[in-house]
Structure 1
Amino acid sequence: MHTKIFGQPFSESKLRWHASDVTRIQVLIEWGGIYLDKDVVVVQKLDRFRNYEMTVDYEVYDLFLGTQTLIAGREALFLRLWLQQYRRYEADCWMCNAAVRPTKEIINRWPELVHRTTPGAFGASIEELCPMLYLRYEPDWRHKYYAIHLLMRANSLTDINYCLDRRPDMMTAVIDEHYVRQLNTTFGEIARDLLDFDV
């Protein structure tokens, strides 16, 4: 794992995430392809986006780049510019180099460098995703999204307080196959589909 970028040490408290952000950019520059966070579920084929040099999703509300699903051609110019902006690495800022600055300094300046999906089509918007996944059932999820970011690490939610403030039963739940059998939310249906069993 990288510990520095352009001679600047990564933040100790954010090392794992910031190093991962840089690694995904470097791998896509070298090889191109599709990057998915490990908690992203692909809902529809992504092949149509391979026709663009770079495809990104962005948050519905703040319109910053979503980094959990990236589709790129090898040596995409956007990726090279994105990596170069790490020369001004902001160690104390969680998403500045990964989402905020590439949006403000690159995409907003040269929008032709990326194909932007319909906002949230790769599941980048937490404000939309949390209630859709964990608080209600969205019958059209298979058609509305190409990929969905589940916001999970292992068998718990990463943004649990934000996502579940109205679902105290899920705050302490271990999300496993027994729990998802009875869950009447979009996430419950997605999990049952992935685990290949019916209620």
Structure 2
Amino acid sequence: MANSVIRLQNIKRYFMVGDFIVKALDGVSVDIKRGEFTSIMGPSGSGKSTMMNLIGCLDTPTSGLIDIDGENTAGMNEAELAYIRNRKVGFIFQQFNLLGKLTALENVVTPLLYAGVPSRDRRLKAIEALERVGLSDRMQHRPNELSGGQKQRVAIARSLVNNPAILLADEPTGALDSKTGNQIMELFEELNSEGRTVILVTHDRELGMRCQRQIHIRDGRLEE
């Protein structure tokens, strides 16, 4: 499909645990179109984290084809996968994953260092990303000086700074109170309305149902 930003075709991901084969994903096929706001939902152990890791190029499948923004990643080596991760996928995690000794601005600059962006452009791009998430007055604060919601906004700014094709959020409101979590969901909705592809991985049904589309997974297979 020409307008698909993610395409999984008959993906299998098996692990050996002792003498047993665990089928984390067992023949999953799915297309996610550019600009969709999609949730991947399922109970613990359903395979949703495995699916997220494959979409985010953090893992490779046992078999099947994965196309991320026009590139077949299934046979890529680690260096090639790292390039795709840095350029095409923005990650947001439940625990924020910020570097404690760096300011908000320095945390957002970090992906640009890996991308080889010239120093004069890095600061401007990072400032722009922090302004986009409403943190223009917190740029010089370190994570321990920020609230949970502010930390997550820094993490979202960091995920946006390379202008990736995909924003991949893993339980992004799990460490936040309900009011702050709602504000973060509203921010994702805004970003999606600007044309960004947003994928939310969650076991929270209420959050998942706020997305335009839901993908339900159980025991490594998609549920209709």
TM-score (norm 2): 0.26
* Structure whose residues are more often helix by fraction: 1
Of structures 1 and 2, the one scoring higher in RCO (CA 8 A, sep 6+) is 2
TM-score (norm 1): 0.28
